[in-house]
A and B are shown apart, each in its own frame.
Chain A
């Protein structure tokens, strides 16, 4: 009994989230995505089911596959075991950090906190590819390509085999080998003929030009823009595709010895690259070979001295939607100049600025043909809501300061009291996880910059159970310890405060690191630097502004997934017995379903559910296990066919008392039914092969007309 429910992302291009119920007992959630608007309203379906989920599988380390997980973990009680590959965990966390910092840079953002992210990802059980995870149901991850650690999931229970394959890429890229699902035109045995396949049709209507054209187009645009003293912006995600792009560009730079700076600008770029360096075993054979033979880690980026970036440059910045993050800041800065260029590498999520720009480009470049459509000169005026964090100035600043001072005094007094009472309890009470701290607390802390001491106390309080009864009895004598120099200071208490404060500040201001992976800070004069110094009090502002985009723009599909053509080749080869199509616009969904139906050997059970729709997709295959006796096995006349040994079997069931399984034994000769079985011809028939055999038997055999083999001029054999 298999029931499939769409929570999000079907017949549209929204984030992915599906629920699979196996035999009424286990509910497996497939992905848990969100978009970078973080509109809690989007998750209303998820909220309903979150508590009942028994396992969550994450397939790619990007927002649309795992964005909602930390929030659901913190707010909806989605506390089931989560399974993902090692890179998905690391990179997923980077992705959430990055987006969190982007959001906090432009507005007060309290949908979820970094603690949620940490706590949520701590919970994930990591798996390797083809490591079976067995708990009644077997869950296995297979390489999907597309992103580091990207996964195709196979869920197996008895005879039900469900393959969940979204955003896979069968083509080999620089960093990733193609998916194992379809390798060299062969479908992996373990994944073929599943009883149910869930796949996306995101690109059903799109055909990718060959990679060399796309690469050429990319470098072409970059080089041309550079020559015209312009800068190039490549919006990208912060953790997944960025690695491939960065490596691609870095290789190119190294090869042509470009002197233009190449900058990776995400909040977590340094750590992202560090993690990437330690996960080579998840990348392609070619990368590993290079590492083994030359000891060259692909992420030892070679560009240094980038503390100042005058003149033309190429920047890879997050996020790809252009709705937030450095990419948006840069676009607003550069988009108005004709010499600069914007290269989109994916289409962006629906309703994002990136998608709007893509549509505009699509409209403008339609007239042209050629493998990759050329760049166009954008001439577009848009009203955009601009959100910023700006330092406080003048009276505002002084007001803030006095306010802060008052508050500090107040809080210090209060905190001292609390601290006093708490430090006594300290020894008895067990620690609680940091996630206990309310989100708003952290948010306040991050944005308002409390005094170190105050914060420490507040935070410290969060570790322990603060029951009402304690608040009512604050006058407990504090145990003090002394040494030769007086009262012992609990160093770590202070140390943590300092560390946290620093960490908080750095994160708020963004971890700006260039590709050289040394931590040069951006120059203050640089266009990027619209952000305040760490310790300057800030406020959020937002205003509407009319932006006139005049830059060059080009879309080059480097998102690294299958295209329509490959999709329509691979899925029929997998031969699922049932197929569910998700994550695509209604047109694309339809197109894909139709083209599948057009294939005769394909199953008729193709479903295109809507959001919220519940599908019963049980394959209902009966089966039971029997034990074979030795006599039966040795009486089989096995014949070999490809990898199989097959034979007719006639057996008699018996239930011996010492075994739970029925036993299949040879049928006594007397009971053999008089009828014989019909012959079954197995295997592919090849007429050419037949011809060869016939000829060796002395029968003339010749092909006449189309596919008719005429033997001895009398018998015609036709397939």
Chain B
């Protein structure tokens, strides 16, 4: 109890610091992976790979953390740079937590990754995982629906529609009242992104496009319409001039939206009917069923359309299984993966078609530095084929920002709307991220809003200090009346998942389901004297006894029962106080038993008794328990104590209650009835004020705790 003072200074608790560490996607695009630590809980967000690297080098920096400590892993969407290292993390590390993603993400995840396993052209020993690991990992994933609130050991999270691709989610995570939002925000066609209802304390958001923003400032929807018109116009031009239109796309995601647009456009333009649209991806075909099924996760327009017919059953688009079936005559529209022309089908077609100036390349997605698509966008006079030959680039190259990533206006608008005091930027190349950061910072300084922006590099940790208010709920009989100033509250505090409830011990079972138990102790001893003798002794010691019907003696909490002629049974509820009393009763009993002659000499027994009682110290031996606790005896005892503590004490002459303590050369006046201390010396006053209540506590009669 004495060191309690130490606690009163608030400690900057390590637990109050929220740490955000980028294991990947810190000042880069790709291998998204973030770790949030707060109050001993660890959440990992996304587990991607870097598209520009192979093998282990493509992984996020998992070495920075102990995978076994991660409680929850949330995957935002199925793109490789967000989900592809998940099988590795689940199967090849010590991770034992739970993994969540939305239903469509889970449905597509498996197919996309098994494709990834197949096409990644690395040596066998460099493979991150095999098909088998993928299957295993699949079984560990739990699927959630948008808006569904999930709670895992105090971590609460809810996923919201993030736009981007089917099933893409932003997560609102709440630990002990602190909310963090992990999002990639975009609002286009297929899925309408939403704003989470609660204002988070931290916003973690992407910055892929930095401040790039060359489109006219229009309403979101109009921006989209504008893109759409440009896009369809472009495609129309290319096929009309007899060219082949190549669109490198990721197998899934934006491609489905482009297909919807093209299908609609072809429907509206019968003259184009002879021009085939191909979608060259067997993977996409398999995943179309997912799009056809999770209609309820898309926007209202599509849901409405679904009531009539499924919009994802296309009328003008044919799937191309392999190039052998492709009859390359005349104009056509071809969507092929991969999206950045790194290799594979899209690269093959690109090399085949690029010398003809009638043909056109339409790039609709983001292209990472160093990929062929990025290179082609600079419109070089010639390109190098995969086989090393150089061929001229004559086909038209167009770029339409159809990418599902956000541009500056949308991003800053989103950040504005979310209004989080801390913004962490990830998933952006360091230049554009720095520019975005600067732009946002100057904007908020101008507006004098206190919004802090962070852009951690990989393995860098952002530390945010939150002192969440700790609220507790007093319930049950403890809260029968609303408390008043200085009222003492004492009960049991039960905390679960960072929630505190204070309750009376008796309510414990009702409100928390914790079962309580009690120890009932029974002791039977031989006793040969009469019961009334025992009674007399006990009454001498403890005052009047209560008698129950079946001839028991109840001594507050102790039942003394004469069970047979030669036996007495004690029964009591085990608490530290009761145990002591029971001990003393036992001592009395044994005393009577050992010297029946002592019946009349009660005083002796009591002296012995008090020496047996561990509550009393040797100093008290002289105190006669028989005498009533009059103020004189109390005062003497107090004086005795003080004398032991401080040395000399004197009674003050003019007042009965006041005494003077003299210790060394310091003097204190103490009023024993009010416990007031009057001295010039602080040290002495402190000592006396600490000791006085204890003396009083010791000398006053024991209080029995009420039975419950």
**A interface residues, Cβ below 8 angstroms from B:** 86, 127-132, 159, 190, 192-193, 274, 277-281, 288, 291-293, 295, 297, 575, 577, 621-628, 630-631, 633-636, 638, 641-655, 661-662, 664, 666-667, 669-671, 673-685
Contacts and interface: CB of A to CB of B under 8 A. Distances in A.
Contact of A680 (B146, B295, B508, B700): B508
Interface of B: 1, 4, 7-11, 13, 103, 106-107, 110, 138, 143, 145-151, 153, 158, 286, 289-290, 292-296, 306, 310, 467, 469-477, 479-497, 500, 502, 505, 508, 510-519, 574-577, 689-690, 693, 696-697, 700, 703, 705, 708
B103 A644 contact: no
Nearest to A654: B485
A193 B514 CA distance: 11
Given A666-B8, A670-B689, A292 B106 contact: yes
Contacts, number: 220
B477 A622 contact: yes
Given A278-B306, A297-B289, A635-B4, A679 B495 contact: no
Nearest first, the 8 closest Cβ-Cβ pairs linking A and B are A131-B147, A653-B483, A623-B475, A649-B493, A622-B479, A628-B470, A630-B10, A281-B103
A130 B510 CA distance: 24
B473 A636 contact: no
A664 B103 CA distance: 45
Contacts of B500: 628
A415 to B, nearest CB: 29
B497 to A, nearest CB: 8
B16 to A, nearest CB: 9
A644 B147 contact: no
A679 B518 CA distance: 9
12 contacts: A127-B147, A128-B147, A128-B148, A130-B148, A625-B473, A628-B470, A644-B494, A644-B512, A664-B472, A676-B705, A681-B518, A682-B514
Given A649-B493, A653-B484, A680-B505, A293 B474 contact: no
B441 to A, nearest CB: 31
Contacts of B511: 193
B149 A130 contact: yes
Contact of A662 (B110, B150, B483, B492): B483
B469 to A, nearest CB: 6
Contacts of B289: 291, 295, 297
A678 B703 CA distance: 12
Given A644-B512, A648-B492, A664-B489, A670 B693 contact: yes
Nearest to A645: B495
A269 to B, nearest CB: 16
Contacts of B475: 159, 621-623
Given A279-B296, A295-B286, A654 B489 contact: no
Nearest to A636: B493
A654 B475 CA distance: 18
A280 B296 CA distance: 10
Contact of B8 (A277, A631, A646, A677): A631
B580 to A, nearest CB: 12
Given A295-B286, A626-B472, A631-B8, A653 B489 contact: yes
Contacts of B1: 669
B495 A638 contact: yes
A259 to B, nearest CB: 28
Given A624-B482, A634-B10, A674-B696, 7 more contacts: A86-B296, A292-B110, A577-B510, A649-B491, A670-B693, A675-B703, A681-B519
A675 B110 CA distance: 64
A646 B103 contact: no
Contact of B488 (A630, A667, A676): A667
A634 B11 contact: yes
Given A291-B107, A680-B508, A653 B492 contact: no
Contacts of B494: 644-646
Contacts of B519: 681
A651 B148 contact: no
Contacts of B473: 623-626
Nearest to B501: A623
* Most chain A C-beta atoms within 10 Å of own C-beta, residue among B106, B474, B518, B576: B474
Contacts of A297: 289, 293
Given A292-B107, A664-B472, A671-B488, A626 B496 contact: no
A410 B473 CA distance: 74
A281 B146 CA distance: 11
A624 B483 contact: yes
A666 B495 contact: no
A673 B485 contact: no
A536 to B, nearest CB: 28
Contacts of A624: 473-474, 479, 482-483
B705 A678 contact: yes
Contacts of B158: 131
A680 B492 contact: yes
Contacts of B149: 130-132
Contacts of A643: 153, 496-497
B513 A192 contact: yes
Contact of B502 (A295, A626, A630, A670): A626
Q: Which of B1, B153, B296, B696 has the most CB of A within 10 A?
A: B296
B513 A277 contact: no
Given A288-B143, A625-B471, A674-B697, A129 B489 contact: no
Contacts of A678: 505, 575, 577, 705, 708
A34 to B, nearest CB: 25
A89 to B, nearest CB: 10
A654 B577 CA distance: 31
A141 B301 CA distance: 26
Given A281-B103, A635-B7, A646 B493 contact: yes
A176 to B, nearest CB: 15
B673 to A, nearest CB: 16
A666 B512 CA distance: 24
A655 B516 CA distance: 33
Contact of B7 (A623, A631, A638): A631
B293 A621 contact: no
A646 B514 CA distance: 10
B286 A626 contact: no
Nearest to A633: B470
B148 A682 contact: no
A645 B514 CA distance: 11
Nearest to B487: A653
B293 A291 contact: yes
Contacts of A652: 486-489
Nearest to A685: B517
B398 to A, nearest CB: 34
Contact of B480 (A86, A277, A622, A651): A622
A129 B144 CA distance: 10
Contact of B148 (A131, A621, A670, A680): A131
B533 to A, nearest CB: 27
Contacts of B487: 652-653
A713 to B, nearest CB: 15
A653 B485 contact: yes
Contacts of B480: 622
Nearest to B486: A652
A511 B547 CA distance: 84
Contacts of B483: 624, 626, 653, 662
Contacts of B513: 192-193, 575
A437 B106 CA distance: 46
Given A623-B479, A626-B483, A654-B486, A666 B4 contact: yes
Contacts of B11: 630, 634
Residue among A132, A190, A577, A645 with the highest chain B CB neighbour number at 10 A = A645
Given A636-B493, A651-B488, A675-B703, A628 B471 contact: yes
A644 B514 contact: yes
B7 A649 contact: no
Nearest to A271: B307
Contacts of B495: 638, 644-646
